[in-house]
């Protein structure tokens, strides 16, 4: 029987560096001998929830779908890196209770001014209230996370350092994470 995996739930404002952290940490986890999957918000939304918008209710529904799949993968030994804005605390708590103990919430706490200056997708340039998607940080709030295990500031630490800190955190929980314990 494979031992269980782990879910790392990476949350933060648009352009806080979620995708970058998942893509940087992923190969490092793989190198430790773990199967790794990345569930990236932008990608999975098109596949899992094409009918959903960006209202609070729709975002919560989408997060529930992602957490369910993450749990299924983790049950079979996969280290799942979820990269999703997850602006509402209710969604984070729901994900945690869906997944159970083997769950690490990582908040990329990057000042909104820095996120806005990165603006790789032009989201912050859109005037508030533009038709279509409601944008977190423009139209909608990002609620401050209440119980993240790890807080990383991507305006201070480059992606490689953030990835190292994440792996060090996971290794520090080695009693529950045998492969990372080596
Ligand atoms: N730790 C970091 N330090 C500096 N720049 C970063 C860091 N992480 C991400 N970036 C840059 O910020 C921009 C947005 O990153 P991205 O990972 O796409 O954010 P998100 O997935 O949260 O929207 C990219 O140009 C990326 O290179
Ligand atoms: Mg992204």
Locate the domains of the chain by residue range.
Answer: 27-156+167-181
pLDDT over 50 at 175, yes or no: no
User: What digits encode the pLDDT tens for the residues 50-105?
Assistant: 999 999 999 999 999 999 999 999 999 999 999 999 999 999 999 999 999 999 99
CATH 3.40.50.300, applies to 27-156+167-181: yes
Write down the pLDDT at residue 180: 55
Residue 117 binned pLDDT confidence (cut-offs 50, 70, 90):
very high
Residue 123 binned pLDDT confidence (cut-offs 50, 70, 90):
very high
Write down the pLDDT at residue 4: 78
Write down the pLDDT at residue 154: 98
Q: What is the best residue among 17, 118, 120, 136 to mutate for testing ligand 1's pocket, by most ligand atoms within 8 Å of CB?
A: 17
DSSP 146: S
CB-based contacts of 139, cutoff 8 Å, min separation 6 = 128, 129
Atom of ligand 1 nearest to the CA of 154: 1
Using the structure block, give the residue that is written with the tokens 């602006």: 87
Ligand 1 centre distance from Cα of residue 32 (Å): 24
pLDDT over 50 at 12, yes or no: yes
Ligand 2 centre distance from Cα of residue 110 (Å): 14
User: What digits encode the pLDDT tens for the residues 125-168?
Assistant: 988 878 777 899 999 999 999 999 999 999 999 999 999 999 99
Write down the pLDDT at residue 127: 84
pLDDT over 60 at 1, yes or no: no
Using the structure block, give the residue that is written with the tokens 């005037």: 127
Report the C-alpha gap between 5 and 21 in whole angstroms. Answer: 19
Sign of CA dihedral 146, 152, 155, 159: negative
Write down the pLDDT at residue 182: 45
Which residues lie with the beta carbon below 6 Å from any ligand 1 atom?
A: 12, 14-20, 83, 118, 120, 154, 157-159, 162
Question: 90: part of which helix (H) or strand (E)?
Answer: helix 89-99
- 136: closest CA among 81, 59, 66? 59
CB atoms within 10 A of CB 56: 14
Write down the pLDDT at residue 78: 96
* Beta bridge mates, 27: none
Write down the pLDDT at residue 176: 53
Give the E-state strand segments of 69-126 in sequence order. Answer: 79-83, 103-108
Atom of ligand 1 nearest to the CA of 16: 22
Ligand 2 centre distance from Cα of residue 84 (Å): 7
pTM: 0.94
């Amino acid at each position: 029987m494979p031992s269980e995996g782990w879910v790392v739930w990476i949350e933060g404002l648009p352009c806080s560096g979620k995708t970058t952290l998942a893509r940087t940490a992923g190969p490092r986890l793989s190198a430790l001998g773990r199967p790794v999957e990345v569930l990236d918000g932008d990608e999975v939304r098109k596949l899992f929830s094409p009918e959903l918008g960006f209202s609070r209710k729709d975002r919560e529904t989408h997060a529930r779908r992602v957490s369910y799949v993450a749990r299924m993968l983790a049950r079979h030994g996969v280290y799942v890196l979820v990269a999703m804005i997850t602006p509402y605390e209710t969604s984070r708590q729901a994900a945690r209770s869906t997944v159970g103990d083997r769950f690490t919430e990582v908040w990329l706490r990057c000042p909104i001014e820095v996120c806005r200056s990165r603006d790789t997708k032009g989201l912050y340039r859109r005037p508030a209230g533009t038709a279509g998607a409601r944008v977190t940080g423009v139209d909608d709030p990002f609620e401050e996370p209440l119980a993240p295990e790890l807080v990383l500031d991507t305006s201070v630490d480059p992606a490689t350092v953030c990835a190292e800190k994440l792996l060090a955190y996971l290794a520090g929980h080695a009693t529950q994470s045998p492969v990372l314990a080596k």
